[in-house]
Amino acid sequence: PPTIRKISERHDKVFVTGCLEPQVNGPRANAAFVVLARNKELDGVLQSIKSIERHFNRWFHYPYVFLNDGDFNSTFKEAVLNHTSAPVEWGKIEPEHWGFPDWVDEKVAKEGIAKQGDAAIMYGGMESYHHMCRFYSGFFYKHELLQKYKWYWRLEPEIKYFCDITYDPFIHMERENKVYGFTIAVKELKETVPNIFRYASAYKRLNNLTSQGLWEMFIEKPEEEEEGKAKLPKADPKYKKPLPEEILNSEPGAGGLPDIDPESMDGETYNMCHFWSNFEIAKLDWLRSKEYNDFFDMMDRSGGFWNERWGDAPIHSLAAGALLSVKDIHYFRDFGYRHTTIQHCPANAPARQLPRIPFLEMTTEDEEERKKEDEYWGHPDPVKENGVGCRCK
């Protein structure tokens, strides 16, 4: 069962409370915004740039790296340059980083994609979307323009920030030894990732990785457990074995998913939870690590990016679950952020409110810890009093 941790052990306090003057003269991190986009998304891109410039980057001037599998046209480039004074770099994605790898049988993969279209799986029938998800899962950080950076902040078309961000999140991530930051965690559509967890879980087992507390965020919690009577199904020893060699080293066009009952794996089931990756601030060195790339390669070789419609969000999240610990993660609960229909509003997430994930429940000790913090800060609720919710519009 997940370990419930005290706030003091969580290392996840908000970086900054109270209204600040933007830290215009502070130190800067080696960081950039990363924007993957197409020319036709110009309007959405401008909306996002206007928003992040107004609420953050007009003071901080972090560079933008634009990436595209095609070429950005001059209309696109000029319009972007008209909306920021920060440096902008334009990158074209190499063919090896986008599309079908040579070990995949394209015909088989395309049939798989078409089937998902027929099944009305969200974006399932759209080949370019599969390429995009795979690119964001295992390739964007390999782009030559990103090599010089240590940190990235992902920016998508049609997003909105609605509170001023007056401190430098990169600097604070660095200072607090954080690896990955999120602002929204949601549940994935099951039909897009029916087998993703079997592989992620197999990776963890094959590499003898023991949970550092974060893995539990992604595990379905049986009802009984909530009532204090945990009764996980007994794992069938045959599922403790590594995945068959022929699947791990699958040949071109194989990409077949092995027949393992997900319900039987160590008694663990994926709860579909993931960090919503259209916003993320993370350390590139983690993505560049051998561990992350081994994870990606194994996931990739399964064929799940074509046979299913694995998103980069559950890929990043399950990799984090397998490789990182709770203290490596930062929840940017003070960022007002919206992408299409889902938003996160700091006013609804007071500074020390915890994300609703299993290992972050309040304990009695937490309540005491919280009281001590309140006394220290001198006010009971930094959001209501003078906190992170100010200057939101």
Contacts (CB under 6 A) with ligand GDP, residues 223-282: 278
- 57-65, 154-162, 341-349, 374-382 -> range binding Mn ion (CB under 5 A): 154-162
Contacts (CB under 6 A) with ligand GDP, residues 117-156: 128-129, 132, 156
- 19-27, 36-44, 168-176, 286-294 -> range binding ligand GDP (CB under 6 A): 36-44
- 150-158, 282-290, 309-317, 355-363 -> range binding Mn ion (CB under 5 A): 150-158
Minimum separation from the CB atom of position 56 to ligand GDP (A): 18
Minimum separation from the CB atom of position 341 to ligand GDP (A): 10
Complex with ligand GDP: residue 69 or 373, whichever CB lies closer: 69
Complex with ligand GDP: residue 126 or 248, whichever CB lies closer: 126
Minimum separation from the CB atom of position 67 to ligand GDP (A): 7
Contacts (CB under 6 A) with ligand GDP, residues 67-106: 68-69
Is residue 37 involved in binding ligand GDP (CB under 6 A)? yes
Is residue 300 involved in binding Mn ion (CB under 5 A)? no
What number of chain residues touch Mn ion (CB under 5 A)? Answer: 1
Angstrom distance (rounded) from CA 177 to CA 160: 27
Angstrom distance (rounded) from CA 118 to CA 275: 28
Is residue 156 involved in binding Mn ion (CB under 5 A)? yes
Minimum separation from the CB atom of position 139 to ligand GDP (A): 12
Query: What is the SS3 string spanning the chain?
Result: CCCCCCHHHHCCCCCCCCCCCCCCCCCCCCEEEEEECCHHHHHHHHHHHHHHHHHHHHHHCCCEEEEECCCCCHHHHHHHHCCCCCCEEEEECCHHHCCCCCCCCHHHHHHHHHHHHHCCCCCCCCHHHHHHHHHHHHCHHHCHHHCCCCEEEECCCCEEECECCCCCHHHHHHHCCCCEEECCEEECCHHHCCCHHHHHHHHHHHCCCCCCCCHHHHECCCHHHHCCCCCCCCCCHHHHCCCCHHHHCCCCCCCCCCCCCHHHCCCCCECCEEECCCCCEEEHHHHHCHHHHHHHHHHHHCCHHHHCCCCHHHHHHHHHHHHCCHHHEEECCCCCEEECCEEECHHHCCCCCCCCCHHHCCCHHHHHHHHHHHHHHCCCCHHHHHCCCCCEC
Partner that binds at residue 68, options Mn ion, ligand GDP, none, CB closer than 5 to 8 Å by kind? ligand GDP
Single residue of 4, 22, 23, 38 touching ligand GDP by CB under 6 A:
38
Please confirm, yes or no, whether 367 is among the known catalytic residues: no
Given the residues 156, 280, 308, 369, the one annotated as active site? 280
- 37-45, 228-236, 281-289, 377-385 -> range binding ligand GDP (CB under 6 A): 37-45
Is residue 157 involved in binding ligand GDP (CB under 6 A)? yes
Footprint on this chain of Mn ion (rule: CB under 5 A): 156
Footprint on this chain of ligand GDP (rule: CB under 6 A): 36-38, 41, 68-69, 128-129, 132, 156-157, 278
As annotated, the active-site residues are 280
